[in-house]
Amino acid sequence: MADVTDIIRKRYLTLLGNNPPFFTNKDYTIGQFAADLGTNRSYASRFVNKELGMTFSTLLNKLRLAHFIKLKSERPNATIGELAKECGFNNAFSFRRCFKAEYGKTPSEYMKERFVKKEGE
């Protein structure tokens, strides 16, 4: 019989493929996450903490930031604020704080470096 952690891991990977992604819901909770995984809050929290090595809120923020970068590359003319909200951030301040903590740059600095070609390229 499969280990509970293996079952949860498979369900998590399936959940990541959902459209729209679960983490874009700004009000998404560990309880909803547990229900989506078909388990209880304790198992869901333990999975995130031990298997993924972070807290649930950190997981949501990392997934949202990665989704933001993906969307920005697909829709370069969309504003940072529009995309941040679409990714599940409650407000621009929390988005910028998370972004700078994760990437060491403001979203604007990161986007300029990543998406704007420098002269001579």
Q: Where are the domains of the chain?
A: 4-115
Does this model's pTM top 0.85?
A: yes
Tens of pLDDT along 84-111? 999 999 998 999 999 999 999 999 899 8
3-state helix, strand, coil in the chain (%, to 5): 70, 0, 30
Category of 89 on φ-ψ map: left (φ > 0), alpha (ψ -120 to 50) or beta? beta
Cβ-contact 86, 23 below 8 angstroms: no
Summarised one tens digit per residue, pLDDT across range 20-63 is 999 999 999 999 999 999 999 999 999 999 999 999 999 999 99
4-115 sits in which CATH class? mainly alpha
pLDDT greater than 60 at residue 121: no
